A and B are shown apart, each in its own frame.
Chain A
Amino acid sequence: MKINDILKPTFWKVVSVIIVTMGLFSTYYRFSLGLGLTTNLHDSVPWGLWIGFDFIGVGLAAAGFTIAATVHIFHIHKYEPLVRPAILTAFLGYSVVVCLLVVDLGRPENFWHPLVMWNIHSVMFEITWCLICYTTVLILEFAPVVLEKFKIKAPIKYLKIISIPVVIAGVIFSTLHQSSFGSLYLIVPGKLHPLWYSSLLPVHFYISCIAAGLSMIIFESFLIARAFTKKDGFHHTELKMDILSGASFAVLIALIAGFLLKIYDFIDNGKLPLLTVPSTETYLFYLEILIGTLVPIFLLSYKKLIEDKKWMYLTSICVISGLVLNRLNVSITGLAASSGVNYFPSFDEISITMMLVVLAIFAFRLIAKNFAVFVSNESENSVNENGTAKSKQIILSERYE
């Protein structure tokens, strides 16, 4: 690609540059002025958009472990083409989350303290360590892709030897911290609205992240098929409907499991009468269940719809929106009544979040362009026999440009 091509303004380029510029200014202000002047957080609302977005980001990055487990542990090789995009998505998602966590810390210069100062009774401590360990796992899982490109073969051999234990560790770390994000709120039974508070919060979080993580990969596949075309030098980005239908079926199972658990939770804790109380919380809860669970279950139950691109795309958006609503309800709206204050994020909170999302998308495109992120089933198999197959592919794509 020539410099002129890069500088040629398109709508999305202009929007991205504006968002990143605003985000950089906001970042500068946040670190030079402190949290009070740049956010709408205060004593009654100590956690806001940034923490809420961390929950969303981690939840939507869950395909990194589910797909890796499906292919490498359960040996269902049909899903092989999804592994690399899922791991890359997870890695970038976690990078956004870690950046936001540091931005949100009152004393970011002390971010390393949890490494040496331990309190094993804290859920936050467990999450921090799981985040560190899982990000390491993601790097190890993606490293072969980078090493292949630069034809550094020696470390790949060692990575292959440890690959299965690494995948297993990744699944366990993910299971622990995905559920622990729910455990964070177990200590506030009096503050979090009972529609969301439950001793089963960690299980709810875990099941919903499986459904939404897979939906994110389905959603992403559609965007990639549309935006990363052969004309731009991408290969194997076309939609693979049989794989996506399979993933959609897994989403359906996870959604039904989550819904049944919710029903059990409501009956077991006598929370059913809450559903008839007219309040903002109740409406938000209905919205969350309707968009995130009932509509997708309904749509996915029809075999015709599951095979139709348009409906599958729509369903994945529904499931993702459901998770977004759920995490925001737990972290912000569900706590609003007890704090007595209505919180809405400030300009700086929004612009820093948007900047990180734009940068993550940009990084995804850049990495997808230069490394073999998208592979077909055949080329993946040929790589197992001949490690150079993939690097050849990239050279081809570069020549194309």
Chain B
Amino acid sequence: MLNETGILFDVTLCEGCGACYDMCKEVNNLPETNDDYLKDHLSDNTFTVVEEYGEIYTRKLCMHCNEPACVSVCLVGAIKKSSTGAVVYDADKCIGCRYCMQACPHSIPRYEWGTTKPRIRKCNLCDDRVKAGKLPGCVEACPTEAAIFGKMDELIEIAKNRLKSDPDKYYQHIYGLEEAGGGHVLIISPVPFEQLGYVSKLTSEPMPEFTMRAMEKIPSVAIGGGLFLSAMFWLTKRKNELAKEKKSTNGKENI
């Protein structure tokens, strides 16, 4: 996993220019959705947004979890982890149940509600570009290096160093390192993350674990249930037979 790649986003360096937003639209061939990029929000045609909180700017995008809820819930396996660590989607497999949207702890996936052949839409960390040796669009466009791309272990190291070397400037937490089991997008910020609209109460346990605890009981329920019911079938049948026999012998005695 540590050889996988991701993005480190430093809120203190972001000037809110919107270059990442524009580039994202360009590389994904997405139509314009809002005149003012600061007022836009994630949608089927917007995979990343820049948000303004007073004088602070931050970004929202898919966090590319290590153990994604969306991947675990997709019944046909339309959402998968790429070898780069990105969470990618295959529209040809998708049946459109939208469980991924329901399950995502960050509420990221969006849907093409307006069409009769809808797809799930979200950031795929420019998986094709990365595999071709290029940078993700948003990272390439960023003029201030607020977003940097690299191997996960290196990014974690950089983030930790920044928090340590400038403790006054940074809120001492790397968002995305442990949230929902951690992911491939790390964010460091001068203020607590709930002030920037991030979901802050996430467990450090990967979300699929919550389901697995129930799912792993299925084999024992099936086998145990089968044995129990078979035993009950035989026992109650025998009991009825015995009762019948007793009845008939009693009847004979009476005669």
Closest to A184 in B: B99
CB distance B114 to A34 under 8 Å? yes
Q: How many angstroms between the C-alpha atoms of A74 and B230 in the bound complex?
A: 10
- List 17 A–B pairs whose Cβ atoms lie within 8 Å, in order of A's numbering: A33-B116, A34-B118, A36-B113, A46-B101, A47-B98, A106-B98, A107-B118, A114-B76, A117-B77, A117-B93, A124-B99, A175-B221, A186-B211, A187-B72, A190-B105, A191-B105, A191-B107
Q: Indicate with 1 or 0, residue by residue over A4-40, a CB within 8 angstroms of chain B CB atoms.
A: 0000000000000000000000000001111111000
Given the complex, which residues of A lie within 8 Å of B215, measured CB to CB? 121, 123, 126, 183
Given the complex, which residues of B lie within 8 Å of A106, measured CB to CB? 94-98, 111, 118
Q: How many angstroms between the C-alpha atoms of A183 and B103 in the bound complex?
A: 12
Which of A44, A107, A128 lies in contact with B96, CB distance below 8 A?
A: A107
Task: Say if the beta carbon of A43 comes within 8 Å of chain B.
Answer: yes
Give chain B interface residues in 71-116, CB to chain A under 8 Å. Answer: 72-78, 93-99, 101-103, 105, 107, 110-116
Given the complex, which residues of A lie within 8 Å of B2, measured CB to CB? none
Q: How many A residues have CB within 8 A of the partner chain?
A: 57
A residues with a Cβ closer than 8 A to B are 31-37, 41-44, 46-47, 69, 72-76, 104-108, 110-111, 113-114, 117-119, 121-126, 128, 164, 168, 171-172, 175-176, 179-180, 183-184, 186-191, 199, 202, 339
Closest to B110 in A: A43
Given the complex, which residues of B lie within 8 Å of A171, measured CB to CB? 225, 229
Given the complex, which residues of A lie within 8 Å of B112, measured CB to CB? 36
Given the complex, which residues of A lie within 8 Å of B113, measured CB to CB? 34-36, 41-43
Which has the most chain A C-beta neighbours within 10 Å: B94, B98, B229? Answer: B229
CB distance A44 to B214 under 8 Å? no
Which has the most chain B C-beta neighbours within 10 Å: A36, A37, A42, A106? Answer: A106
Using known A-B contacts A32-B116, A73-B232, determine if residue A172 contacts B222 with beta carbons closer than 8 Å.
yes
Closest to A171 in B: B229
Closest to B224 in A: A172
Q: How many angstroms between the C-alpha atoms of A61 and B114 in the bound complex?
A: 34
Q: How many angstroms between the C-alpha atoms of A43 and B210 in the bound complex?
A: 23
Q: How many angstroms between the C-alpha atoms of A41 and B114 in the bound complex?
A: 11
Give the 3 A-B CB pairs with smallest separation, nearest first: A106-B96, A36-B113, A125-B75
Given the complex, which residues of A lie within 8 Å of B42, measured CB to CB? 43
Q: How many angstroms between the C-alpha atoms of A75 and B118 in the bound complex?
A: 50
CB distance A74 to B232 under 8 Å? yes
CB distance B77 to A119 under 8 Å? yes
Task: Say if the beta carbon of B1 comes within 8 Å of chain A.
Answer: no
Q: How many angstroms between the C-alpha atoms of A104 and B118 in the bound complex?
A: 12
Give chain B interface residues in 184-213, CB to chain A under 8 Å. Answer: 199, 201-203, 207-208, 210-213
Q: Indicate with 1 or 0, residue by residue over B113-125, a CB within 8 angstroms of chain A CB atoms.
A: 1111110000000
Task: Say if the beta carbon of B53 comes within 8 Å of chain A.
Answer: no
Q: How many angstroms between the C-alpha atoms of A42 and B215 in the bound complex?
A: 29
Closest to A120 in B: B215
